[in-house]
Homo-oligomer: A and B are copies of this chain.
Amino acid sequence: MAVLPTSSFALLGLLSIRTMSGYELAALADKSLAYFWPMHRSLIYRELHRLEQLGYVAGSDVRQQRLPDKRIYRLTGPGRAALVDWLAQPGFRPPQYRNEFLVKLFFAHQLQPAQVHALLADYREAVALDLADLEATVGKLDAIPQGRFGQLIAGHGMRTRRAILEWIAEAEQALGRDAAAGRGIPPSTPSGGARP
Contact = CB atoms under 8 A, between A and B. Distances in A.
Interface of A: 6, 9-10, 13, 16, 32-33, 35-38, 83-84, 86-88, 90-111, 115, 118-119, 122-123, 126, 130, 145-146, 148-150, 152-153, 155-156, 159-160, 162-164, 166-167, 170-171, 174, 178
Given A111-B87, A122-B90, A155-B167, A10 B95 contact: no
Contact of A107 (B83, B96, B105): B83
A94 B37 contact: no
B108 A36 contact: no
Nearest to A174: B152
A174 to B, nearest CB: 6
Nearest to A86: B104
9 contacts: A37-B98, A83-B107, A90-B118, A90-B122, A94-B126, A95-B100, A95-B101, A96-B98, A106-B146
Contacts of A178: 148
Given A90-B119, A152-B174, A155-B167, A145 B106 contact: no
B102 A93 contact: no
